[in-house]
Structure 1
Amino acid sequence: MDKGKRITEPGSDHAPGTVERKHEGGKSLRGLAEAYGRTYGLIQQILTEMSDARLRGRGGSLRKDG
């Protein structure tokens, strides 16, 4: 994707609905940011402000005490 090109253009492969579907399909915010050549913060903003997406909780292993 070219720098400066609108990521939210309707009908685009990068429109909020498309980003939301990929996130709901299991793609992480960092993975989406890398795929689109955008920042984590912008992808998060697209999902929270421009669509009705619900962000998943953090993944990864939990720290065990002692």
Structure 2
Amino acid sequence: MQIHHVGDHRPLRAAEYPAIGDQLDVLWRWAAALPAALRTPELEAMLSHIEAVKTKYEKGGEDASG
């Protein structure tokens, strides 16, 4: 027996998925855990940028420049 949904499935799925920020956090942690030999230059650049932002704005802290 097949189930047929009527209407657009996209808003239903979107409502049940984790927030996009949570999804991206998981992906970036996974990418950071890859061996260096598997990281592309683009991935290394993005990971470096993310780490720089995290350092600049530490959790519970204020802007590092002020």
Q: Is this a same-fold pair by TM over 0.5?
A: no
TM-score of the superposition, structure 1-length normalised? Answer: 0.27
Q: More relative contact order in 1 or in 2 (CA 8 Å, sep 6+)?
A: 1
TM-score, normalization by structure 2: 0.27
